[in-house]
């Protein structure tokens, strides 16, 4: 699925008729089956941007197009995954994963088949009967990913989905995102504070400046897969992006 973000701007109303400009003139696009990593200082509008792409929030100016059609309401072709796991504690894993299908009145057979398929795709076999409290954080987040996948969205929007995980678990779940990408070919838009994660997963990086978020730079991640985090090219790109971000953070402090 092809995403076009065209001259997007967003202002929120403040007290006394003032407005807070959060996003300004954001333009980028994804090709089919691309993973885009979005990076930028805290408060620069990344979550707001994802919410607008998902149709949960209206832009003040500009527009978002999905395969050429304008987004103006929540779209079932988009799956959104947040930092919090948002699983329902009283349901077991299989029930959590199939909840969207249940809402759509899918048959029991379809539910069973998809729960099995998507749990195994995220590397979670044998926990269907368990409850969320019995799982580690990384497993819970995989359940959340499997739940989005059952609705077969063409695009996955992820807002710092792995921030709460320890590095080891985070590495494992990153591998399962790569496998998912290879198997399903979905377009993924990933907001993350981890430069390493962005360079590992993304085909392209969109770097936003401090609020109001503007496009600071778009970088093609031209590294072969499987990517080696210890390779010279990987480290050099990671350092380049880290430097960019720390300059942006310094510039935003100097503005205040
Ligand atoms: N519904 C809203 N009403 C008013 N202001 C909002 C609203 N949503 C977000 N904001 C403001 O917009 C700015 C950008 O918020 P946003 O959550 O998009 O930033 P972010 O880049 O995701 O930050 P972080 O990296 O900390 O998650 C913040 O100043 C926030 O207070
Ligand atoms: Mg955010």
Under the banding of pLDDT at 50, 70 and 90, the label for residue 70 is very high
Q: What is the CA radius of gyration of the chain?
A: 19
For 87-145, what is each residue's pLDDT tens digit?
999 999 999 999 999 988 999 999 999 999 999 988 898 999 999 999 988 899 899 99
Residue nearest to atom 5 of ligand 1 (CA): 12
Under the banding of pLDDT at 50, 70 and 90, the label for residue 205 is very high
Strand partners, 208: 215
Is the beta carbon of 47 within 6 A of some atom in ligand 1?
A: yes
Is the beta carbon of 22 within 6 A of some atom in ligand 1?
A: yes
Give distance in angstroms: CA of 37 to centre of ligand 2.
13
Which three-class secondary structure state does DSSP give residue 159? strand
Which three-class secondary structure state does DSSP give residue 17? helix
Taking 70 as the threshold, does the pLDDT of residue 256 lie above it?
A: no
Q: Taking the domains of the chain in order of start, what are their residue ranges?
A: 1-16+28-77+155-256, 86-152
Q: Which residues of 73-111 are buried (b: 16+ CB within 10 A; e: fewer)?
A: eebebbbbbbbebebeeeebbbbbbbbbbeeeebeeeeb
Taking 80 as the threshold, does the pLDDT of residue 85 lie above it?
A: no
CATH homologous superfamily, domain 1-16+28-77+155-256:
P-loop containing nucleotide triphosphate hydrolases (3.40.50.300)
Give distance in angstroms: CA of 43 to centre of ligand 2.
7
Helix (H) or strand (E) holding 176: helix 167-184
Three-state SS string over 182-218 comes to: HHHCCEEEEECCCHHHHHHHCCEEEEECCCCECEEEE
For 7-38, what is each residue's pLDDT tens digit?
999 999 998 989 999 999 999 999 988 999 99
């Amino acid at each position: 699925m092809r995403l076009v973000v065209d001259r997007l701007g967003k202002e929120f109303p403040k007290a006394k008729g003032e407005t807070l400009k959060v996003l300004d003139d954001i333009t980028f696009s994804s090709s089919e089956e691309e993973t885009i990593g979005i990076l930028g200082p805290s408060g620069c509008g990344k979550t707001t941007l994802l919410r607008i792409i998902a149709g949960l929030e209206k832009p003040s100016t500009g527009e978002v197009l999905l395969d050429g059609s304008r987004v103006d309401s929540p779209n079932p072709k988009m799956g959104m995954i947040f930092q919090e796991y948002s699983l329902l504690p009283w349901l077991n894993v299989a029930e959590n994963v199939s909840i969207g299908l249940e809402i759509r009145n899918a048959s029991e057979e379809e539910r069973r088949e998809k729960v099995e398929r998507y749990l195994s795709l995220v590397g979670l076999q044998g926990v269907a009967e368990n409850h969320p409290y019995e799982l580690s954080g990384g497993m819970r987040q995989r359940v959340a990913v499997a739940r989005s996948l059952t609705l077969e969205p063409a695009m996955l929007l992820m807002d710092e989905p792995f921030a709460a995980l320890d590095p080891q678990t985070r590495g494992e779940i990153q591998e399962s995102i790569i496998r998912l990408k290879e198997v399903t070919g979905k377009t993924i838009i990933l907001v993350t504070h981890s430069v390493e994660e962005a360079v590992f997963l993304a085909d392209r990086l969109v770097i936003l400046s401090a609020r109001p978020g503007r496009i600071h730079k778009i970088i093609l991640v031209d590294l072969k897969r499987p990517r080696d985090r210890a390779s010279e090219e990987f480290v050099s790109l990671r350092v380049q992006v880290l430097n960019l971000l720390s300059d942006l953070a310094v510039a935003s402090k100097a503005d205040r």
